[in-house]
Amino acid sequence: MGVVRRRLSLQARQMLAAGLALVAFLGLTGYALDRAFAEAALTSQRERLENFAKAYLNGAEVLRSGAIVMPQVPPDPRFDRPGSGLYAGMVGEGLRWESASSLGRILPPPVPGSPGVGRFEGPLPATEASGRGLAVYRYSLTTIWETGRGDIELTLALYEDAAYVGKQVAVYRRTLWGWLGAAAVVLALVQALALRWSLRPLLGVEKALADVQQGSVARLTDEHPRELQPLTDSINALIDSERRNLEQVRRTLGDLAHSLKTPLAVLQSLLDAGASPAELRAEVRTQVQRMNDIVGYQLSRAARSGHVLFAAPLKIEGPAEEIVQGLEKIYAAKGVLCEFEIDPAARFHGELGDLQELLGNLLENAFKWAKSRVVLQVSVLPAPAGKRSGLVLAVDDDGPGIPEDQVERVLQRGVRGDERVQGHGIGLSIVLDIVAAYQGALSVERSPELGGARFVARFPPQV
């Protein structure tokens, strides 16, 4: 058996994604701040050594004999303290000088460069008198001095132990990553609380669905955030559709049972009356044919009434053209012509069979009663955001029309299946069933243009 891998919950996914993003963000931020501080520390060290070099040169003197006299008071007391970590040295033509702090240190010698141009280098290797290695940063500055013996080139070098900057960076790093770690913990807690609060509506939807399954409520309430509203509307539409389909099945079974009572009663009466075999055989054939017709009709009616939710949009003109071409051949003797006024954006959101039945029955009824003209008009009903547009489908003819006192009877709902027989309103009953399945409405009006009947099917915007 394969191992079943449990999918992560939405909250776990969000926490994982947020955690990774938080770690990446804080890591990059910490790295950038660390590098910025290290570079700033080196820049500060360079500027400090440069200032020391200028202070030494400003206070130094070169005697006529060529001897160098450095300032008695150095720019920093550490230059007088051996092993302090801050050192100075100068070399020239036959000259060499080192600060008292250089005692016991073997430092890299000053390297002459372009006069007046300072050079900062490091970390460079150095050695203590005990042989232990260390590293220093060096700032070198070469200058030209005028003496009684002529111009001489002097190179002053300032050194500082690399551990000084390293300690600064280490202290900064400990502080930085400590605070970033504390910020990460706080942000993770805030993120967890925010996710729990933001996902609470989903838990509400889950609880509402459980209530629907248990039968304590009929459908989901509308008390949800607008981002979840399309989801809850779709679920409610699915629930309503399933209930309508169940009710249609129950109604169809009831109609079928009621329709079969009459032929079965006829056969039962013949048996009770002791009819002859020939008479009984003929009546059985007749009633069996009648029952076959009833079963076929009720099954086709139930299939037509099955509204499929979220169906693909269908264009109107193609199916209408096919139906009209056939009707014009059937009613060629009357010379009836059909005109189309179809909005190019109009779409029927349902099954092709339902659209064909709807158009076929309305157009056939119009062709049957029209004198010479039939008009099919299709327009769009605007829909709010998140819903599919509605549809208005109207069929006009120039026939005698339907009297106003007969309209209510024609559209009367709840007529039993065995009361609708072929040639006496069965087409209109099919239209009524289809329109009702799509939560629409069918009305009969007087055509303002042609003067005959106008059948209007209105389908509201749907999820």
Report pLDDT digits (tens) over 240-285: 777 777 777 777 777 677 667 667 766 777 777 777 788 878 878 8
Please report the pLDDT score of residue 273 as a whole number: 75
Q: List per-residue pLDDT tens for the chain, 463 residues long.
A: 455 566 767 777 777 888 888 888 888 888 898 888 888 888 888 898 889 888 888 887 776 666 677 888 888 888 888 888 899 988 887 778 888 888 888 888 888 888 888 889 888 898 887 778 888 899 998 888 776 666 778 888 999 988 888 888 888 888 988 898 888 888 888 888 888 887 777 777 777 777 777 777 777 776 767 767 777 777 777 777 777 777 777 777 776 776 676 677 667 777 777 777 888 788 788 878 877 877 776 676 666 555 555 567 889 999 899 888 888 888 888 888 999 999 999 999 888 878 888 898 899 889 988 999 999 999 998 877 767 888 999 999 999 888 887 777 766 544 333 333 333 345 677 788 888 888 889 989 899 889 899 999 999 887 5
**Six-digit token string for 74:** 């150095």
Please report the pLDDT score of residue 418 as a whole number: 34
Please give the Cα distance from 85 to 159 (Å, whole number).
Answer: 8
Cα-based torsion angle of the residue sequence 302, 253, 243, 234 in order, rounded to the nearest 10 degrees: -20
Please report the pLDDT score of residue 139 as a whole number: 92
DSSP assignment of 17-73: HHHHHHHHHHHHHHHHHHHHHHHHHHHHHHHHHHHHHHHHHHH-EE-TTS-EE--SS
Cα-based torsion angle of the residue sequence 278, 282, 285, 291 in order, rounded to the nearest 10 degrees: -130
Please give the Cα distance from 363 to 350 (Å, whole number).
Answer: 19
What burial letters (b/e) apply to 92-108, b meaning 16+ CB within 10 Å?
A: beebebbbebbeebebb
Please report the pLDDT score of residue 458 as a whole number: 93
Please report the pLDDT score of residue 148 as a whole number: 62
**Six-digit token string for 259:** 């329709």
Burial class (CB in 10 A: 0-12, 13-18, 19+), 438: buried
Please report the pLDDT score of residue 307 as a whole number: 53
Please report the pLDDT score of residue 340 as a whole number: 93
The structural domains of the chain, with segments of one domain joined by +, span: 7-198, 229-304, 313-459
Please report the pLDDT score of residue 454 as a whole number: 93
**Six-digit token string for 430:** 């099919």
| CATH 3.40.50.720 given to domain 313-459 | no
Cβ pair 123, 137 in contact under 8 A = yes
Cα–Cα distances in angstroms (integers) from residue 45 to residues 38, 50, 165, in the given order: 11, 8, 8
Please report the pLDDT score of residue 297 as a whole number: 60
Please report the pLDDT score of residue 69 as a whole number: 79
Please report the pLDDT score of residue 310 as a whole number: 58
